Amino acid sequence: MWKIDGQEEITPMYDEKGKRTVEGGKGVRYVVLKTIRLAPGFHRVFFGLPEDKFTCEFDISLKVGKSILEFKPVYRPCGRPNASFLNGICDFEIFYNGTSYSLTSNCFVM
């Protein structure tokens, strides 16, 4: 288990085209960067955020060499079509070596 402190930041509410950004406004950004050495082959991954009551468990087959696994948050909508970090996380997009990784998983918000 890793616990990290976030960095408070203020992100622009709108992008250069005037579109609302999902992470816009005052908030705390958390970034976890960890290096783990694993043998190539099948592994079970568990990812959880206790404060958001979110957990995800899935199997992945790692290739030989360096692999990068990314979890990008998907935020809940705020009553309109726009999602916002203010409403919490409802899911994660998972990327393996920069490519979207579709999976059969047990991901859910409790």
- For 25-38, write each residue's pLDDT tens digit: 787 777 777 788 88
What does the pLDDT read at residue 1?
A: 57
Encoded tokens for 16: 């250069």
pLDDT-derived band at 41 (thresholds 50, 70, 90) equals very high
Tally Cβ neighbours within 10 Å of residue 64: 8
Sequence-ordered list of residues with C-beta below 8 angstroms from that of 6, at least 6 positions apart, any chain? 28, 29, 30
pLDDT-derived band at 110 (thresholds 50, 70, 90) equals low
- For 62-88, write each residue's pLDDT tens digit: 889 888 888 888 777 655 566 666 667
Say whether pLDDT at 104 is over 60: no
- Please give the Cα distance from 57 to 105 (Å, whole number): 6
